[in-house]
Structure 1
Amino acid sequence: MPHPEPTIFQALLQRRSVRKFTDQPVDTEHLRRILDAGRWAPSGLNNQPWRFLVIHKNDPRQESLAGLTKYAAIVRNAGALIALFLHKPAMYHEGKDHQAAGACIQNMLLAIHGLGLGGVWLGEIINQEEQVIQALDLNPDEYRIMAVIALGHPAHPGASSRRPLEELLLEAL
């Protein structure tokens, strides 16, 4: 059986943050597959502390979230939003659960890319956690916002660059 690394590495190296989307709606089955990819992320003790709230285009909550971030234009333009929360009763370690949320988000971003869609991780919105929880009518004793993923059909490809690996190594290989 061939080793799957080339496909995995292609996805890792080709995925980009996409911030502008067309008006084409995001298919419910695609959303289900994206959430399923997130659900399979690793978590400490397999506690799976994440919870998802999908907000479809033109849901009034989309505009509420747009008013709570400096990335309002991206939120308004998205074909769908996935708000990712930690469920406080499911948490066992703050740091590990935050890491798990990051893995969950990355899985979903890779799934978005794999489906030919575009998405972007909006983390700045956590600075308005109290207002986000209130705007979404959630219980602040139960949920902690980790990010909002804006996604849709890309209006243009994303672009990015990276520092040379040598700049990031603490010691030479």
Structure 2
Amino acid sequence: MTKSNPVLDALRGRRSIRKFTNDPVDREDIATILDAGRWAPSGLNNQPYRFLVIHDDDARAESLAECTKYGHIVKAAKALICIFLDKEATYSEMKDHQGAGACIQNMMLAAHSLGLGTVWLGEIVNQQDKVLDKLNLPADRYELQVVIATGHPDQKGSATRNELSEYMLEDF
């Protein structure tokens, strides 16, 4: 892949960041990230995702840190973007989960474009009931998809990928 453009560069350049500086994340940047999420595709355009932003000075951040083995990342983040599916707005479990994934990717790419770092904390969904309880959200209405830890990067990320041919079921 040799073509270069801003979208492809962002896709190739975004990395998971697990260490953050003490600089706060601007409210305007958070709004931009959330807006990027709402533009993700969803089946029937039902847009079943819902967002909750928790800043580092919110006591709920400490509570969320207790819900994951990655609590140190939760505590280091300046903002936590929690993404849920609203069960009252869903129509297809598979399509709605796919839409949530697209929403999450949009948000992480938007954050990257703003010079912010993020990491997708998916392990926390193993404690979904505990998370929903700590956030005072009804489990019969919301399904936790991810918590995105966000902040100004205090590390460089790295990643490798297999050759494209290793993913292909047949030549194209």
* Same fold by TM-score greater than 0.5: yes
Shift of 1:172: 2.0
State the secondary structure of the residue aligned to 1:158: coil
Where in structure 2 are the equivalents of 1:25-104 lying within 5 Å?
25-104=24-103
| Structure 1 ranges of 4+ moved more than 4 A | none
Where in structure 2 are the equivalents of 1:153-172 lying within 5 Å?
153-172=152-171
| Aligned residue pair count | 169
Q: Which residue of 2 aligns with 1:112?
A: 111
Within 2, Cα distance between the matches of 1:80 and 1:23? 11
* Superposition RMSD in Å: 0.8
TM-score (norm 2): 0.97
Within 2, Cα distance between the matches of 1:9 and 1:64? 37
Within 2, Cα distance between the matches of 1:157 and 1:115? 15
Q: Which residue of 2 aligns with 1:139?
A: 138
Gaps of 5+ in 2: none
Shift of 1:98: 0.2
Report Cα offsets for 1:26-79 as digits up to 9, x if no partner. 000000000000000000011000000000012111011100001111100001
Gaps of 5+ in 1: none
Within 1, Cα distance between the matches of 2:66 and 2:159? 27
TM-score (norm 1): 0.96
State the secondary structure of the residue aligned to 2:5: helix
Within 2, Cα distance between the matches of 1:123 and 1:20? 17
Percent identity over the alignment is 59
Within 1, Cα distance between the matches of 2:26 and 2:6? 24
